[in-house]
Amino acid sequence: MKLINGLSIALAVFTVILTIVFFGWWIMKDSVVFGSEKFDQVKWMQSAATITTECKRGDMAYDLQKNILARGSSKEAVAVLLGRPSFEDGPAVEYDLGKCMHVYHGLLIFFDENNRLLNSRISSH
């Protein structure tokens, strides 16, 4: 009986630790995976068509999202900065980041009805 209680407590502690580690990683993953370089417009544009680098734009995505793309920016200004999007669907556009950490990612940018930037997020496919 004591062995079962001890194992139950150990399992509960392990589950709590694993949950904390998982959510800690989830919160910080964008800055860890996508935050190793500052945004460079020339490199961004050159990386659009490359197939030699798997995570071709991913290293700049976090800096771009957090420090460059300002809420309220016009859709035209974003297009001048980033070039033609990989995908466009009404108020949202997506730029291909490549295959980062074995998963294809994109930078999704959302605009309001006046074509002003609302928010952006890194998505996985």
- What pLDDT, on a 0 to 100 scale, did the predictor assign at position 83? 94
CATH number of 34-124: 3.30.1450
CA distances from 46 to 70, 106, 121 (A): 23, 16, 22
Tokens 């974003």 belong to 78
Give pTM, 2 decimals: 0.73
- As beta bridge partners, residue 98 has 105
- What pLDDT, on a 0 to 100 scale, did the predictor assign at position 102? 82
- What pLDDT, on a 0 to 100 scale, did the predictor assign at position 30? 60
Average pLDDT over residues 81-94: 93
- Mind listing the pLDDT tens digit for each residue in 2-43? 777 878 888 888 888 888 777 765 566 665 566 678 899 998
Tokens 């700049």 belong to 60
- The number of residues in the chain equals 125
Tokens of 6: 């001890």
